[in-house]
Structure 1
Amino acid sequence: MHMEQAHKDIAPRLRGLRDALDMSVEDLAAKTGVTPEQAALYEAGETEIPVGFLMKVAQACHVDLTVLISGVEPHLKGYSLVRHGEGLSVERRKDYDYKSLAYRFSGRKMEPFLITVPPKKPEDMNLVVHSGQEFIHVLEGRLELRLGEDVLALDPGDSLYFDSQTPHALRGLDDKQAVFLDVIL
């Protein structure tokens, strides 16, 4: 799947899932915290679909995130080994490159991602908010994380656990990308 086209592949699965559950766009929007207009836009396949929205759809509809992303049922229940470079690319946009590290494991309670964030100017950072909690562990580069009013600089080996409902934004520092493990609950 070309990542630039991922939303075009995911959109019909979103629509099909909602139809299968006899749920209106308004119902899905209410359960996922977006406007009905935004939910309809995601279903139309005309715009990128944030991974946070997909996670909320998966939770609200009691399906696995992997099913929405890839259309394939995860099947491993005992363990799931993902070798270096094999993570399932979830979303690629100007901001982040996400790779799911547990996409084959059925019934996950958390979503671990390997995320690469490019360097950018402070004014180009986009604050996001979503439900749950988040754990970040920096692997490469230096990461700036804006968390509410605080600006934190994390070095390789540094970790941070926070409430995802706090507005947050990320960027690589020193004109280099930052790579980190991000686990969302």
Structure 2
Amino acid sequence: MNEKIQEIAQRVRALRDINGLSAESVAKKLAVDVKTYQAWESGTADIPVGSLYELASLFSVDLTELITGQAPRLHTYCVTRHEKGPEVERRSPYKYWSLAYNFQHRKAEPFLVQIEAESEQKPLELNSHPGQEFDYVLEGRMLVSIGGHEVELGQGDSVYFDASEPHGMKALGGKRVRFLAVII
């Protein structure tokens, strides 16, 4: 598996141990089955970004620490150059780049998300996480499913929703889609 996935898995496992929690108790708090959680912790499966966000909250660390192994250092402002933010999740067909990873005490988690065109052929994968989410389409078209409702979004369209509702996205029209996702 990818080296980044392995590094994140090791940090999650270490933080769980430091906090004196069992894999079973963490899986229960994340509302996932134990085998799924153990696959995440072993690095044999990638951890969805929403679950990383939940794990960071559970372990009282910044999401940046889970992703990079380093604490954010900036407190006045931070600049993230084009596609230079750390890639958070590497499961096909999604790519996520953290856009404020180096800013301390963030109130929101902004990401640039890219979904490859191949996702149009695949069934929609749903996930959920605490908080709210805002997605703004920068390029392409995508299908968004939220709590059983489906809506198509194009360039310049946006959606704001309760992220605890099962949701998922996929590219449409045979082209990739890129959008700004902000988890609050």
TM-score after normalising by structure 1: 0.91
Distance 1:122 1:167, change over 3 A: farther
Indicate the SS of the match to 1:54: helix
Larger displacement relative to structure 2 (122-131 or 147-156): 122-131
Aligned-residue sequence identity (percent) comes to 43
Amino acid in the other structure paired with 2:133: E
AA partner of residue 168 (structure 1): H
- Give 5+ residue unaligned stretches, structure 2: none
Gaps of 5+ in 1: none
Native 8 Å contact 1:74 1:104 kept in 2:
yes
RMSD: 1.7
CA-to-aligned-CA distance 1:126-172 (integer Å, 9 cap, x gap): 12222211000010111211223322111111111011122222111
- 1:184 corresponds in structure 2 to 183
Matches of 1:123 and 1:95, distance apart in 2: 9
Candidates 41, 44, 57, aligned match of 2:42: 44
Of stretches 107-116 and 26-35 in structure 1, the one that deviates more from structure 2 is 26-35
Structure 2 residue aligned with 1:87: 85
Higher alpha-carbon deviation: 174-183 or 16-25: 16-25
Query: Within 5 A, what are the aligned runs for 1:112-123?
Result: 112-119=110-117, 120-121=119-120
Provide the rounded CA distance (Å) in 2 between the counterparts of 1:121 and 1:142.
10
1:1-20 aligned within 5 A: 4-20=2-18
Name 1:61's counterpart in structure 2: 59
Matched residue type, 2:80: V
**TM-score, normalised on structure 2?**
0.92
Structure 1 residue ranges, 4+ long, deviating more than 3 angstroms after superposition: none
Partner residue of 1:125?
A: 124
Give the Cα separation in 1 of the matches to 2:30 and 2:149: 27
3-state SS of 1:121 partner: helix
Q: When the two structures are aligned, how many residues end up with a matched partner? A: 183
